[in-house]
Amino acid sequence: MRTRHLVALTLATAASLAAVPAASSAAAATPANSRTTAAHCPQLSKKLKWHGDNRAKLQRMIDERGRCAHPHLGHGGKRPVAAFDWDNTITKNDVTDATIAWSLRHDKILRPKSWKSTSKWMTDAAHRALTKACGTKVPVGAPLPTSTDTDCADEIFEIREDGRTMSGAAAFAGTWDHRHTVPQYAWVPQIFAGHTVPELESYAAKARKEALAAPVGATQTVGTHEIPGYVRYYDQQRDLIRTLKKAGFDVYIVSAGSEPVTEVWSRSVGIDRAHTVAIRSVLDRRGRITTWNQGCGGVPANKGEAIPYIDGKRCWINQEIYGVKGEAAWQKQDRAHRIALGGGDADTDVTFVGDATGAHLVLNRNKAEFMCRAYDNADGRWVVNPMFIEPLPRKSGAYPCSTAAYNEHDGAKGPVRHADGSVVPDQRDSVY
């Protein structure tokens, strides 16, 4: 069992990843001009299509921060860091959803003693809906027959997907920091409570095999929900990661999914467990997943208050990559302790991608706060690209950056602001 998982609830904070020395260059270096040096600059493939001049922008950043300009990287020199979200950033479609769908279709969700106990924010309405739909005949800890019980599968998937019951009632209520967590994301590893990490990894591996074999555009049915039935690695992102590693970068995945699931997928792009950060479950004395998670930024073991979500991704990067401890991990660090390249697709990625000092790569999924930052392009280093497979059409109307695109800590919507407090103007969708 990996030492970074807790072995008991009584151990509030287990050993996490050792801090990896990593820092981006304090200033963009100028690549050497000699033909000999240039010949050793790892290059992005010119056979893979990027929007506009995005390949050139990324290549310039790689040349500036990598071995091309700093030949001693990895030999005493600190490596620059690249960090990427996973779902819909490295792959098309959500690997967590694929794993949940496979698990529901194969009766892998165990009946909890009480649905209310699975999340500290679960409402009475959601508890009643799940209890009614899934019944009480199955013994506690035994698999629910979700492959045939459409009502049970529907309630579980609807709550995971939209945070509501099938009748439309709120599934979660109470107080949480909306830039540190979202209950239905935190609930994903919690519904796998009772399983071991290897068991969950095996479900993810089987879901992966199925999703990669399905044709692009395929759908599947879970309960009565029709969802994407396929997943694909983006060739451009595989190539980008490969090139970054050749150029001397440390490359990490930072996901709001369940860590064992993300790890099953990340290893195929050459990213190991030590470089994969996601929601980390606390394990009991028997090595089984519990409804508790490891914490970040001074937050101890918890029921989902500090997952890698919006500002939480910054916290986990600062803590696990740069060794920043306590509350300081929630704060933006100096240039020497920030990533060089960040990549994502949604508002959950906006903080850590914005922290990058070299390039901010955005796959456009029309997420308001993220796209406001991207199109405002305050530092001239934002790189916006349509999704490489089945890109979205152009968003009609402007993103409400000046009024209601920012996700406030209390869940309200407000204006997106620059570092000096000035308001970002509304932005039109132009890369699609």
**pLDDT value at residue 52:** 98
Assign 81 to helix, strand or coil: strand
Q: Which class in CATH covers the domain with range 35-89+238-428?
A: alpha beta
Please spell the DSSP secondary structure of 196-264, one letter per residue. Answer: BHHHHHHHHHHHHHHHHHSPTT-EEEETTEEEE---EE-HHHHHHHHHHHHTT-EEEEEEEEEHHHHHH
The tens digit of pLDDT for each residue in 369-402 reads 999 999 999 999 999 999 999 999 999 999 999 9
Rounded to whole angstroms, the Cα distance separating 192 from 196 reads 9
Is the pLDDT at 242 greater than 60? The verdict is yes
**Maximum Cα–Cα distance across the chain:** 74
Note the pTM of the prediction, 2 decimals.
0.90
Residues 213-238: b if buried by 16+ CB within 10 A, e if exposed: ebeeeeebebbebebbbbbebbebbb
Q: Over the chain, what is the mean pLDDT? A: 92
Can you read off the two tokens belonging to residue 39? 């010949």
> pLDDT tier at 77 (50, 70, 90 boundaries)?
low
Please spell the DSSP secondary structure of 136-185, one letter per residue. Answer: S-SPTTSBP-TTT-HHHHHHHHHHHHHSB-TTS-BSB-S---TTT--HHH
For the chain, domain boundaries: 35-89+238-428, 95-228
359-364/382-386 β-pairing: parallel
> Cα-Cα-Cα-Cα dihedral of 301, 281, 268, 80, to 10°?
0
In 47-97, beta strands by DSSP E = 81-84, 91-92
